């Protein structure tokens, strides 16, 4: 089954403790992206990647890092999480998102206390 | 830069009634337009998309949307709503920017269905 898999689904952590949210897709998509969803703000792009070793900032990149060492994986790293990063995070992949839209993962609900 | 406005934050309709969710976009060229649905606790599922050609596009679950260039709109419609349609709906515009392909989302419309 074609899918984007995120882990974990739920995570509660403390301020400053580094964490990684994993994302993997099995569709051989070139494009991958991370979004965060907050009430009243919709989905905002954090980072995106057009291919292996090619990543760039989205609209709200502060406090996040990503890497794309393999085509299928695109982890999101929070080196020092803060409470304002409490949010619902989605990973997505696509051939070309502007044309085809994205396939989304099921989301990761992160709470930073 | 492209942008999407969904003017209705919440909409409530009775089961069996018709539905129209509004979406207005801003983009300098011919847009690629999408509607996604997010059920509680789930990811986003693509309902339909518009690239070019026929301005009335059909999607899954009985939804359709009409592209109106003169109004910069891409409203989502369904003739008869089912209780299972209760969800949040997002409109998005796709664009090729200097930074590559990108989808920009609206802030969403929460649909409640009364039985």
Q: Check CB contact of A31 with chain B, cutoff 8 Å.
A: yes
Predicted confidence band at B99 (pLDDT cuts at 50, 70, 90)? Answer: low
Locate B109 and state its tokens. 């419309």
Out of A31, A43, A44, the one facing B101 most closely (by C-beta) is A31
Q: Check CB contact of A106 with chain B, cutoff 8 Å.
A: yes
| Per-residue pLDDT, B97 | 64
Test mutation, A21, A37, A42, A93, chain B, max B CBs within 10 A: A42
Test mutation, A6, A45, A101, A105, chain B, max B CBs within 10 A: A101
Q: Check CB contact of B95 with chain A, cutoff 8 Å.
A: yes
| Per-residue pLDDT, B71 | 93
pLDDT > 80? residue A43: yes
pLDDT, tens digit, 9 for 90 and up, residues A58-78 = 999 999 999 999 999 999 999
Full 3-state SS string of chain A: CCCEEEECCEEEECCCCCEEEEEEECCCCCEEEEEEEECCCEEEEEEEEEECCEEEECCCCCCCEECCCCCCECCEEECCCCHHHCEEEEEEEECCHHHHCCEECCCEEEEEC
* Cβ separation B101–A105 shorter than 8 A: no
pLDDT > 90? residue B103: no
Kindly report the average pLDDT of chain A as a whole number. 94
Least confident span in A107-111, B38-42, B48-52, B98-102: B98-102
pLDDT > 80? residue A42: yes
């Amino acid at each position: 089954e074609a899918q984007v898999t995120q882990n974990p689904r739920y995570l509660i952590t403390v301020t400053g403790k580094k964490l990684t949210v994993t994302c993997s897709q099995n569709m051989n998509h070139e494009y991958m992206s991370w979004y965060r969803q907050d009430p009243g703000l919709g989905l905002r792009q954090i980072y995106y990647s057009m291919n292996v070793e090619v990543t760039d900032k989205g609209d709200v990149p502060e406090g996040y890092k990503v890497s794309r060492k393999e085509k299928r994986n695109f982890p999101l790293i929070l080196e020092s999480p803060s409470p304002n990063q409490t949010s619902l995070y989605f990973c997505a992949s696509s051939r070309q998102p502007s044309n085809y839209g994205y396939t989304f993962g099921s989301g990761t609900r992160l709470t930073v206390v | 830069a492209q942008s999407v406005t969904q003017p209705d934050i919440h909409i409530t309709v009775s089961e069996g009634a018709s539905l129209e969710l509004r979406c207005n976009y801003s983009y300098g060229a011919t847009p690629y337009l999408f509607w996604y649905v997010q059920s509680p606790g789930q990811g986003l599922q693509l309902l339909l998309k518009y690239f070019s050609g026929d301005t009335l596009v059909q999607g899954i679950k009985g939804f359709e949307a009409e592209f109106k260039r003169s109004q910069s709109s891409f409203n989502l419609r369904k003739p008869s709503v089912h209780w299972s349609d209760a969800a949040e709906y997002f409109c998005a515009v796709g664009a090729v920017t200097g930074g590559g392909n990108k989808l920009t989302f609206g802030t969403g419309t929460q649909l409640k269905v009364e039985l």
